[in-house]
Each structure stands twice: as C-alpha cells, then as structure tokens.
Amino acid sequence: MKQTIRLLGISLLALCMLVLTGCELNIKQSSSSQKIKLYFYDEHQSTLIMEERAIDLPKDASKEKTMLAVLDALAKGPQVNNQGTRPILFNIDQAILKERTAYINFSTAYNTLDVPTQITHRAMLVYTLTELDFIDKVEFQANDIPLVNSNGDKMDAVERKDILINVLNPTPPTSSQIVTLYFPSNTDGLLHKEQREIRVNNNTPLEEYVIAELIKGPMTEGLSSILPADTKVNDIKTQDGVCQIDLSYDLQIPQVGNTVREELIIYSMVDSLTEISKIQKVNFLKDGKKQTEFNIPNQSGGVFERNEELILQTP
C-alpha cells in the first residue's frame, strides 16, 4: 500500500513537471526577442545617435502594439554610456497607427520646451518610428491640437527625408571643422562674420552643416537669425559649382520685408555657402519649385553669386 502511494506521488510529481515544462515552453514560443533601432539626440555632436536594442514582443503582436513597445523603449532613454544623449523629456498621451502613418499626441509639457528641443525630439521620434517597415511618416499633435509651423500653418506629416539632422553610427567617421557663417547685424545693415567649430561626418556634404548652423542662428550678440528654427531643408545638392537648396520656407513671402532685409537673408546663406571652395553660385527652391522673382539686383533667374559688398570689412 505504501509502495502504491509512493508510486502515485512520483507519477503526480512527474505530471506536474511536464505541465510546468509545457507552460514554460508555450510562453517561450509565444514571445520572441526583436532587435530595434532607437535614435537619441546628442547635444555634444548636434546629431542623432543610433542605439540598437532587443525587446520582447509576443509573436502575434499587432503593428500598433509593436509601435507602442518601441516608443516605451525610446522613453526609457539611452543605455549606451554617452553623456551627450538625452531621453524624451515629456509624455506622449496617445499614439495610434492608421495605414502607414503614426499619429503622436504629446502632453501639454511639450509646449514648455524651447523650439530647438521640440525639433530634436520630433526628429528622434521620426527616425525611430520609420525604422519600422510599416511606418512611412509621423504626424504630431500636442494636447489634441495639431502642431503649426512659424507661419501658423498646420504641419504636414513628417517623413525621414524631411529631417535635416544627420544620423551617425555609434562609431562615426567624424572630424572637427571650422565653418564661416554670415548673419545680419541689428544696427549697421551688414553681414557679420561668425566662425564656429563643429563636428562633421566625413561622408556628409559640408553645405548641409552650414545650412543647419544658419538655422540655429547666431551666437554673437547683436546679430539676427535669418530663418525660423523650424525651417525644413527638403534637399541640398551641389553640381558644377552651383548649390541648390530646397527649403520649406518661402523666401519671397511678404513677411520677409523690404529689399534690404530680403537681400540680407539671401546673402547670409549665399556668402556662407560660397566659403566652401567647390561652391560659386546658389539657387533656391521652395518645396521643389524654383524661386526666381527676387527684388534683388545682380542675380540671374534666382541664381546668386557671392556679394562681398554686404559683408562688414574688418582691418
């Protein structure tokens, strides 16, 4: 009798172990580890840094659940020891997926951030989410209100190509570069030279960095910014000595002001870009359409050459 009870106990124990093993096996089979790419803004290099991370997802996870898991990983911040990188500094109240567009609704805390920080945070989200093969673009709101640009117009959904900030690998081929920029003075109506040292990716054209630095604005007191901080550069390329810039900002709108002001805005970019030896001329597009009707002398069909007369001459 005792032997029968002992055998029954062993059988029950073995059965329990089989059941538990089966449960564990089912759990392992129902989830899998997936590698994702997250992008964090590096303040020291003024660029985005990519960090690869593994997250556990159910094998049958929907696209929207996958997107939410990626956002959660991004919100936790970088794991790689890089002092310049920053996590998301505000909450996302809602994130939904419709077709191939992610809709992000920020909390009200987003509106307390300065414009450059807002831009870099949107860049982090766009680059991270468009790594998913089912997302092409991202549309943003804050507190259920669509975001607007500097002209007060509703922002369109943002694609990866809309982001100017260059994305680097964790070990990028970078070097130090001194760039010469020109910003208009608040007092004498001339362009003043400002030099700054930046870190550049050797595989990225220098003209991209020059425009990015111009959008950031001057560091010298008494000089003015020439473009809104949320200006997007759709494309920039140089061929046969001519640099063509496609901006989201209309250089010919009435807000630009009088001819002198328009002249300073244009030549701030032209004179800065022609500091690069391969560039002799510059022309401008607005969302793919060439801009030609400028009230500025000494230009042909919207193509501009360097203008030394507008630059403050120093001994």
Secondary structure letter of residue 155 according to DSSP: P
* pLDDT tens, residue order, the chain (315 aa): 444 434 344 444 444 454 445 544 444 456 678 889 999 887 767 778 888 989 888 888 899 999 999 999 998 888 766 555 666 776 899 999 999 999 999 998 888 888 778 888 899 999 999 999 999 999 999 999 998 876 677 888 988 887 765 443 444 556 788 999 999 998 888 999 999 988 887 777 899 899 989 988 999 999 988 888 777 788 888 999 999 998 876 554 444 443 447 788 889 999 999 999 999 999 888 777 776 556 565 556 678 999 999 999 886
Give, in order, the Cα–Cα distances in Å from 11 to each of 7, 17, 24, 27.
6, 10, 20, 24
- Residue ranges of E strands in the chain: 31-42, 47-58, 85-86, 92-98, 101-106, 137-142, 145-146, 158-159, 167-168, 174-184, 191-201, 233-239, 242-247, 281-286, 289-290, 303-305
Residues 6+ apart with CB under 8 A from 256: 262, 265
